[in-house]
Amino acid sequence: MKKTIFTILLAFSFSTIWGQIAESKLKISHLTGNFYIYTTYNTYEGSKTPANGMYLLTNSGAVLFDTPWDTTQFKPLIDSIKLKHGKSLILCFATHWHSDRTEGLTYYKQQGVKTYTTLLTDEWSKKNNKKRAEFLIKNDTTFNVGGYSFELYYPGEGHTADNIIVWFNKEKILYGGCLIKGAEAENLGYLGDANVSEYENTLIKVQKKCPNAKFIIVSHHNWNNVNALKHSIKLARKLKVGYKKNRLKNDNYK
């Protein structure tokens, strides 16, 4: 009898531990209506860093905006969408060439999902040996899928040369990807592939395109603060001023 209780307790504690591990690798939160934010994690500069993506449930199936950063979560994400909502994933968009956006493109294509990036993203992905989409968009494009409409918009160079945003005009959702940082961000994050002098102009173009956004979804911070874009513009302005000063200083040494 004692042994049975012990076994049950052991089984229970294991399932709890595994449950927690599974939960901590993939987090899904409701945004509004049929929009959901999912988060996976990876290590960046030695610390666990979240990466947010989004999915939308439509009458035609689920649509994914950016793939998980954690490569172990491609299948769990597709399975969770099926289990939670009874929807199959039909479309997937990646908003720039970095791995935290594109890593799952090949996997999802193999699962019969139509994968998309812009032609510009594809050129950068090819150059940098990243995963590539099956279908390429040449210009800003509006998609109409299962009762929803959204535009893929390229505002110019910022976080990377190819970063795009997705604008849901009816729902006033601005999906900003890595171009926009959270309202609490101290800086603009990884700038290794950024255009420091153009970043601010690019963000201002986003602001003009999506003037009355109710939700602004960012990749690596809290996504529930609508001040994210304004704050990012401030950070980008500071960055540009610093860059110009530095260039002036360097020119003086020539």
Helix H or strand E encompassing 175: strand 173-177
- Which residue in 160, 219, 221, 229 binds Zn ion (CB under 5 A)? 219
Residue 11 is classified by DSSP as H
Our finding on whether 178 is near Zn ion (CB under 5 A) is: yes
Q: How far apart are CA 52 and CA 56, in angstroms?
A: 14
Residue with token string 């988060």: 39
Burial letters 179-191, b for 16+ CB under 10 A, else e: bbbbbebeebbee
Applying the rule CB under 5 A, the residues between 32 and 61 that interact with Zn ion are none
Applying the rule CB under 5 A, the residues between 82 and 111 that interact with Zn ion are 100
As measured in angstroms, the least distance from the Cβ of 143 to Zn ion is 22
Pairing of β 47-58 and β 61-65: antiparallel
Of 87 and 101, CB closest to Zn ion: 101
Our finding on whether 163 is near Zn ion (CB under 5 A) is: no
As measured in angstroms, the least distance from the Cβ of 112 to Zn ion is 26
Helix (H, G, I), strand (E, B) or coil at 52: strand
As measured in angstroms, the least distance from the Cβ of 99 to Zn ion is 8
As measured in angstroms, the least distance from the Cβ of 67 to Zn ion is 12
Of 102 and 219, CB closest to Zn ion: 219
Applying the rule CB under 5 A, the residues between 196 and 215 that interact with Zn ion are none
The Cα angle at residue 19 between residues 17 and 25, in degrees rounded to 5? 105
Our finding on whether 232 is near Zn ion (CB under 5 A) is: no
Of 100 and 157, CB closest to Zn ion: 100
As measured in angstroms, the least distance from the Cβ of 50 to Zn ion is 10
Residues 64 and 53 sit within 8 Å (Cβ to Cβ):
yes
Encoded amino acid at 67, one letter: T
Summarize as ranges the residues that interact with Zn ion (CB under 5 A).
100, 178, 219
